[in-house]
């Protein structure tokens, strides 16, 4: 997928959710395995590991996904990213890779994406403040990209950085966090097939407010772990300190797994409100992906290692 000039999309440019779902069903029935839509696999393709089948009927509206965001580089209000992220230029874009790997370097985004086959993954997305969405991402497994850099046996963690450019990201002029924004995963988390590098959603390229041109999606962790607008990837031997740990380690741990039994000091995590709904629903352990990822934390106290 080669990202060119970022289009300005309004609601009428995007397939209506009901038509989108109908199209998905039709393509699946017709045998979508050989059909391509633009630069992504046909939306009817959804493997069991990518989300539960019932999620197809729970998709959050495109308008809500693209207008209610946390992206402090453009402001702390939920509507600020949609208002101000137009200042970000996503082409040209490059990714610098270094650390404990055999093939470091700086790579143009289009060169990194060219051999990667994208697919659709419908994932639950849970924010630490208690709101959630169901999002149809387009992207590819992070692990498939990381293996190209040949991490060494000393690479125990992978560390990501967001672009730092206050002219393009005016929120960085304020000391809300220590910039640039940084996040990290254990290597086994990063290599898990559910961990996604997203390039789009609802069959469209990512908009700036959603983390264009490339963002991380780790569906069993709180949303702030899914770092946006990535420009650097580091392989490390020691556990890194992330942005929110630097800001407030008491409230934000390295793992940040969705866990209804571990409350944030200011918010209960037992229930959540899906955007577009008034009722609250029970929060699922590991956001509903325990069958796939709980083995990663066998023997680890998730209340202590929050």
pLDDT computed for residue 116 by the predictor: 95
Question: pLDDT averaged over the chain?
Answer: 87
- Segment (H or E) for 253: none
Strand partners, 139: 119, 198
Instruction: Report, as an integer, the average pLDDT of 114-119.
Output: 94
Higher pLDDT, 115 or 48: 115
Q: What is the predicted pLDDT for the residue at 37?
A: 31
pLDDT digits (tens, 9 = 90+) for 201-256: 999 999 999 999 999 999 999 999 999 999 999 999 999 999 999 999 999 999 99
Q: What percentage of the chain reaches a pLDDT higher than 90?
A: 78
Model confidence pLDDT, tens digit, residues 131-141: 999 999 999 99
Band (19; pLDDT cuts 50, 70, 90)? low
By the 10 Å C-beta count (0-12 exposed, 13-18 middle, 19+ buried), 19 is classed as exposed
pLDDT at 192 over 90: yes
Give me Rg for the CA atoms of the chain: 18
Q: Is 119 left (phi over 0), alpha (psi -120 to 50) or beta?
A: beta
Q: Which three-class secondary structure state does DSSP give residue 71?
A: coil
Give the pLDDT band of residue 24 (cuts 50, 70, 90). Answer: low
Section 172-188 average pLDDT: 97
State the average pLDDT over residues 111-130: 95
pLDDT of residue 54: 75
Considering the entire predicted model, what is its pTM? 0.85
DSSP 87: G
Contact call for residues 151 and 100 (beta carbons, < 8 A): yes
Domains of the chain: 11-297 (3.90.420.10)
Name the residue among 249, 231, 250 with its Cα closest to residue 240: 249
Least confident of 7-21, 25-39, 106-120: 25-39
Rounded average pLDDT over 59-72: 98
Q: How far is it, in rounded angstroms, from Cα 259 to Cα 208?
A: 29
E strand intervals along the chain: 36-37, 40-41, 94-99, 105-108, 119-126, 131-141, 157-162, 182-186, 196-201, 204-205, 215-217, 230-236, 271-274, 281-282
Alpha-carbon distance values, 193 to 145, 158, 207, 237, 239 (Å): 12, 15, 24, 22, 21
Q: Is the dihedral of CA 68, 258, 224, 235 positive or negative?
A: negative
């Amino acid at each position: 997928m080669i990202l060119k000039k970022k289009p300005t999309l309004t609601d009428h440019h995007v397939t209506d959710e009901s038509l989108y779902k109908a199209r998905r069903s039709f393509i699946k029935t017709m045998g979508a395995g050989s059909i391509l839509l633009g630069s992504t696999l046909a939306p009817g393709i959804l493997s069991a590991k990518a989300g539960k089948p019932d999620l197809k009927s729970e998709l959050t509206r495109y308008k809500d996904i693209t207008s209610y965001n946390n992206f402090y580089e453009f402001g702390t209000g939920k509507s600020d990213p949609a208002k101000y992220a137009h200042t970000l230029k996503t082409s040209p874009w490059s990714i610098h890779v270094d650390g404990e790997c055999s093939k470091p370097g700086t790579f143009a985004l289009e060169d990194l994406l060219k051999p990667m086959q994208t697919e659709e993954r419908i994932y639950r997305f849970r924010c630490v403040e208690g709101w959630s969405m169901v999002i149809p991402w387009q992207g590819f497994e992070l692990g498939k990209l990381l293996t190209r850099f040949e991490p060494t046996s000393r690479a125990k963690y992978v560390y990501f950085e967001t672009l730092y450019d206050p002219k393009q990201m005016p929120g960085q002029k304020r000391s809300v966090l220590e910039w640039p924004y940084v996040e990290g995963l254990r290597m086994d988390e990063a290599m898990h097939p559910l961990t996604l590098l997203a390039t789009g959603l609802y069959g469209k390229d990512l908009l700036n407010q959603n983390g264009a041109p490339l963002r991380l999606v780790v569906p069993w962790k709180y949303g702030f772990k899914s770092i946006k607008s990535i420009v650097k990837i580091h392989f490390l031997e020691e556990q890194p300190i992330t942005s929110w740990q630097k800001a407030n380690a008491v409230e934000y741990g390295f793992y940040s797994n969705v866990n209804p039994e571990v409350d944030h000091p200011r918010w209960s995590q037992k229930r959540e409100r899906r955007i577009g709904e008034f009722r609250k629903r029970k929060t699922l352990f590991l956001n509903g992906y325990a069958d796939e990822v709980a083995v990663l934390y066998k023997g680890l106290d998730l209340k202590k290692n929050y």
